[in-house]
Amino acid sequence: MDEKQQSSAAAAGKQVQAIIEAAEATAREIEEGARTRAEAIREQAERDAAEHVTRARQMVELLAGGAEQLQAEIDDVVVRVDGLKAAIDAVRVDLRAAEEDVTQSHASAAAPVGPIHPEPEPEPEPEPEPEPEPEPEPDPEPEPAMAAAPVEPSAPETPPDQPDTSGPAAAASKAPEGVRLIALNMALSGTPRDQTARYLRENFQVEEPDALLDEVYAKAGS
């Protein structure tokens, strides 16, 4: 091989070496750039993932706080509903008791009064016996010329403290106190007068209760 060919081969070798070196340098640059970009991408991905995790944690904490508050509100509503239910039940019980009282009151007012055994009246005190009147002194003998006029007996006067036993008031006062109380109770309850009169005749053998009924119905205002 002559000198010219050797120089051409040397020049070609240098060019090839330069190309190889340039290619290696480019490959190193590409590798370094790829590594740099990959590192940047990895770091960005890690930052994004951390932000997502932080936001997710914050969202979970926010939801947990809202759930606790909602649970507290639900518990408060349940307590109020229970209290309201208890109050309604108490009102229902009171209303039912009041209705029963009213019903019993109407029933007792409408029902006729049963026979009441009157208390025995005390025996009347014996009236004091009147003092014996002094014997009249004998009249002087009349003169023969004058005849004694017959003296007509006078009607006995009613003592002032003796009650009048005649008339409606006396008939009403003769009624036993128990019968009078029964008649007054029936009058106050709104029982008709004829029904009260029939009741007194049938149960207490009061033959003429008109005077007593006048008295009790006047007191009852009917």
pLDDT of residue 163: 42
pLDDT of residue 177: 86
pLDDT of residue 101: 72
pLDDT of residue 135: 58
pLDDT of residue 199: 94
Domain parsing of the chain, residue ranges: 168-222
Determine whether 105 is exposed, middle or buried from the number of CB atoms within 10 Å of its CB (0-12, 13-18, 19+): exposed
pTM: 0.28
Residue 168 C-beta-side C-alpha neighbours within 13 Å: 8
Rounded to the nearest 10 degrees, what angle do helices 177-188 and 210-220 cross at?
Answer: 50
pLDDT of residue 90: 83
Token pair listed for 159: 């003592």
Write out the chain's pLDDT in tens, 222 residues: 567 677 778 788 888 889 999 999 999 999 989 999 999 999 999 999 998 899 888 989 989 998 888 899 999 899 988 888 888 888 888 777 777 777 766 555 555 555 444 455 555 565 555 555 555 555 554 444 343 344 444 444 444 344 444 444 454 556 788 898 999 999 999 999 999 999 999 998 888 889 999 999 998 886
3-state secondary structure 59-87: HHHHHHHHHHHHHHHHHHHHHHHHHHHHH
DSSP label of 197: H
pLDDT of residue 34: 93
Token pair listed for 8: 């051409």
The Cα 191–Cα 194 span in angstroms is: 9
pLDDT of residue 81: 86
